[in-house]
Amino acid sequence: MANDSYLNVLGVWKSFDGHPVLRGIDLEVPAHSATVLIGASGSGKSTLLRCVNGLEAVDAGSVTIDGELEVTDFNTDLDAVRRRVGIVFQSYNLFPHMKVLDNITLGPVKVLKRNVRQARDQAMELLKRFGLDSKAQDYPDRLSGGQAQRVAIVRALAMEPEIMLFDEITSALDPMLVGEVLDSVRELRDSGMTIVMATHEMNFAREVADTVCFLNNGIVWEQGAPEELFGNPKQAETRNFLSRVR
Amino acid sequence: MVFKDPMRQEQSRKKARRDALIGMASLITFVIVCVVLVTNSSGWSTFQETFFNGDQFVESFPTLLQAFWLNVRIFLIAEPIILILGLLVALARTLRAPVFLPLRMIATLYVDVFRGVPTILVIFLLGFGMPALQLQGVPSDAIFWGTAALVLSYGAYVAEVFRAGIGSVHPSQTMAARSLGLSSFQTNRYVVLPQAIRNVMPPLLNDFISLQKDTALVAVLGPIEVLRRAQIDTSSNFNYTPYVGAALIFIALTIPMTRFADWVQRRTAKKRRAGGVA
Ligand SMILES: Nc1ncnc2c1ncn2[C@@H]1O[C@H](COP(=O)(O)OP(=O)(O)OP(=O)(O)O)[C@@H](O)[C@H]1O
Ligand SMILES: [Mg+2]
């Protein structure tokens, strides 16, 4: 196995109520690369991402971060994992009782024990980078979906993660607002962040992905560079799926 | 830009004025008819003499107010303790780690017992029972045990209110907080509880209005609070005006509180609607 890969998923199985969702997933994500997960609804993309940051416990197999941190080991402190792994969800899940700025500084102040001043400065810098600095003092209910999702991205970034997981972050958005959120992801990717992203945006996948993985029935059915997978899919299931989403 | 047709505005102002006038006229007529009917009925003078006796009222009201101060003190002491107890019990019931099993069981048992037993029974039990033990170091003060009984009884209700509040915060909020590396304690403290408490403010205030009234239950143990005072005054003069006086005192306190609770309810509902998806 390649040791230069940042995230290693090996033979991961996961079932809910006796219904298998992941059936032996293998995945290697090199540092500073973007991996895009595609697949039909229910194929296990969200579940896989949630296993990577320990929100779900696996039934079998292992998830290793940076060749050293075993997410799947019972003795691992999952809070330590989550400090290094950022995740953004389809429903932004901002904290509605906190201003945008406080949403962002909560993690750095309480978890990383930064002082408030420093955390705020850093948050403002991030907000500026994503064109959101004018929203710092607003409550989440004043934001558009696109702005809310970008704040959620900033909130995850404020923890200075080494890898970012995105779970269909544009699916709840008005089509008009998808672009601004994808721009943020593109920006991150260009800055060298390691990214794993589940999405239904095939054009975006083709553009930013280093590797595209097609999940089918809880298995990585086919993977490859985007030109290859989209241009010349080898498996019938992949062709079938692609013909349905296009 | 806002555009309003001046004609329509004038018409709607006129209509509002007319509606207000009609309402007022209707109300005045109604009150006059009631007053005439009631005061002309045969039993009115005895009724008035028994419940609304002016001399009796003037005589008893100051002593009633004085006695009511004890109700206020019981309330002010009980309320914060109830809040803390209720919150702790509700939190104990959310603990999932196996070491906390005894704690969780005690909390559940406590709520089951004290929600099931009438408050007045708890007051009898503690207020008469505990002093009867005559144990060293156990206070025999009726006010102490009466207040303790209210705390235990209302603590169980409030614990359930808080538990419902915690349940009303969507699990995705917890998921988001844990994803940021916050511990389970921090997630409760900074994310779940603030939203839970905001969501249950209206029922919580209702419980407090109820507690304000139930301070009168302590009367059964003997302390001279407002109800006991009214009872004494009533029996010495064979006139029921002091009871009406005591009722007025309670109303004077609960009506503003009810209005406040309504206002909080509306505000909470608005906030929740607005904050829906975020
Ligand atoms: N916590 C859970 N409890 C029970 N079943 C679950 C749970 N989470 C996911 N599932 C089930 O697992 C299956 C895979 O879900 P998952 O969300 O991983 O799919 P997905 O590929 O992300 O789909 P989508 O494109 O709709 O988001 C679904 O059938 C879902 O109902
Ligand atoms: Mg999903």
Q: Quick: pLDDT tens for A25-68.
A: 999 999 999 999 999 999 999 999 999 999 999 999 999 999 88
Can you give the pLDDT at residue B57?
A: 86
What tens digit of pLDDT does each residue of B193-224 get? Answer: 999 999 999 899 999 999 999 999 998 888 88
Q: Give the Å distance between the CA of B102 and the centre of ligand 1.
A: 34
Q: Given pLDDT bands bounded at 50, 70 and 90, which one contains residue B277?
A: very low
Q: How far is residue A94 from each of residues A59, B64, B180, B192, measured CA to CA in Å?
A: 30, 52, 12, 12
Q: Is residue B128, in this structure, part of any structural domain at all?
A: yes
When pLDDT is averaged across residues B113-133 and rounded to a whole number, the result is: 92
The verdict on a CB contact (< 8 Å) between B177 and A141 is no
In B147-186, the residues whose Cβ lies within 8 Å of chain A are 172-173, 175-183, 186
Query: Domains in chain A and their CATH numbers?
Result: 5-245 (3.40.50.300)
Q: Which ranges of chain B would DSSP assign to H, the alpha helix? A: 6-40, 44-51, 54-94, 101-116, 119-133, 142-168, 171-179, 184-186, 193-214, 226-237, 241-275
Instruction: Decide which of A195 and A174 is more confident.
Output: A195
Which of A147-156, A157-166, B124-133 has the weakest average pLDDT? B124-133
Can you give the pLDDT at residue B167?
A: 94
Q: Give the Å distance between the CA of A15 and the centre of ligand 2.
A: 15
Q: Is residue B11, in this structure, part of any structural domain at all?
A: no
Which of A120-134, A201-215, B239-253, B264-278 has the weakest average pLDDT? B264-278
Around B209, how many Cα atoms within 13 Å sit in the side-chain half-sphere?
18
Question: How many CB atoms are located within 10 Å of the residue A164 CB?
Answer: 21
Q: Are A53 and A80 in contact (CB under 8 A)?
A: no
Pull the structure tokens for residue A96. Answer: 């509605």
Q: Given pLDDT bands bounded at 50, 70 and 90, which one contains residue A1?
A: very low
Q: Is residue B131, in this structure, part of any structural domain at all?
A: yes
Among A55, A80, A148, beta carbon nearest to B179: A55
Can you give the pLDDT at residue B41?
A: 84
For ligand 2, a single-atom ion, the residues with CB < 5 A are A 46
What tens digit of pLDDT does each residue of B107-120 get? Answer: 999 999 999 999 99
Q: What is the pTM of this model?
A: 0.84
Pull the structure tokens for residue A202. Answer: 């095939």
When pLDDT is averaged across residues B116-140 and rounded to a whole number, the result is: 89
**Would you say residue A175 has pLDDT above 80?**
yes
Q: Which amino acid is at B170?
A: H
Q: Identify which of A9, A12, A15, A16 to mutate to test ligand 1's pocket (most ligand atoms within 8 A of the CB).
A: A16
**Would you say residue B136 has pLDDT above 50?**
yes
Q: What is the mean pLDDT of chain B?
A: 90
How many domains are there within chain B? 1
Can you give the pLDDT at residue B133?
A: 84
Q: Is residue B37, in this structure, part of any structural domain at all?
A: no
The shortest C-alpha distance from B193 to chain A (Å) reads 11
Rounded-to-integer distance, Cα A245 and Cα B199, Å: 41
Rounded-to-integer distance, Cα A124 and Cα A99, Å: 13
CATH number at residue B122: 1.10.3720.10
Q: Given pLDDT bands bounded at 50, 70 and 90, which one contains residue B131?
A: confident
When pLDDT is averaged across residues B17-42 and rounded to a whole number, the result is: 91
Mutate to test the interface with B, among A47, A93, A111, A153 (most CBs of B within 10 A): A93
| Geometric angle at alpha carbon A232, from A227 and A236, rounded to 5° | 135
Q: Is residue B2, in this structure, part of any structural domain at all?
A: no
Q: Is residue B184, in this structure, part of any structural domain at all?
A: yes
Can you give the pLDDT at residue A2?
A: 46
Whose alpha carbon is nearest atom 7 of ligand 1?
A16
Q: Which amino acid is at A140?
A: P
Give the rounded percent of residues in chain B with a pLDDT score beyond 70.
97
Whose alpha carbon is nearest atom 27 of ligand 1?
A41
Q: Is residue B246, in this structure, part of any structural domain at all?
A: no
CA dihedral A225, A227, A230, A234 (to 10 degrees): -70
| Geometric angle at alpha carbon A45, from A41 and A47, rounded to 5° | 110
Judge if ipTM > 0.95.
Answer: no
Ligand 1 contact, A120 CB (< 6 A): no
> What domain range is B152 assigned to?
70-225
Rounded-to-integer distance, Cα B256 and Cα B253, Å: 6
Can you give the pLDDT at residue B274?
A: 57
Q: Give the Å distance between the CA of A14 and the centre of ligand 1.
A: 11
Q: Which amino acid is at A4?
A: D
The verdict on a CB contact (< 8 Å) between A82 and B181 is yes
Q: Are A115 and A67 in contact (CB under 8 A)?
A: no
When pLDDT is averaged across residues A151-180 and rounded to a whole number, the result is: 91
Q: Which atom of ligand 1 is nearest to the CA of A17?
A: 4
Q: Is residue B211, in this structure, part of any structural domain at all?
A: yes
Can you give the pLDDT at residue A45?
A: 94
Q: Given pLDDT bands bounded at 50, 70 and 90, which one contains residue B278?
A: very low
